Amino acid sequence: MKLIDSARVIRSKNAGPTQMTIDILFDEPEAFEHACNSDNLTESAIAARYGLSQNQVRIIPYPAANALKVVMDRAMVAGTPGDRDVYGAQQHGPLLDLVL
């Protein structure tokens, strides 16, 4: 199953000028647990999708909300020349087809 088919919400946003977050929210605790245990939804797997090193990515689970927060370094500082997504609102795309 793909992440986009399992999660109710997948969204990204800036977390300051040098980091962004991706929020992943699930309706069901079972879907959340499945995602948490997936070998494809790890810090190293996400880092590879974004061209980052593993130490530039953190996954923070929030079991009470059936949610995961992914925090990672931005490739460039928000708003600098060449930045195509100053708000970080389009950065969740590489995770949509991730197979859990």
CA angle 4, 65, 40 (to 5 degrees): 40
- Residue-wise pLDDT for 43-84, tens only, equals 999 999 999 999 999 999 999 999 999 999 998 999 999 999
Q: Is the pTM of this model over 0.75?
A: yes
Long-range contact pairs involving 6-9 (C-beta distance under 8 Å, separation at least 24): 6/31, 6/34, 6/35, 6/100, 7/31, 7/35
Confidence of residue 90 (pLDDT cuts 50, 70, 90): very high
Domain 3-78 = CATH 3.30.70: yes
**In this structure, are residues 91 and 85 in contact, taking their beta carbons and an 8 Å threshold?**
yes
Look at residue 75 in the predicted model and tell me its pLDDT: 86
DSSP state letter for 56? G
- Residue-wise pLDDT for 10-32, tens only, equals 999 999 999 999 999 999 999 99
Which residue from 39, 8, 48, 40 is spatially nearest to 24, judged by alpha carbons?
8
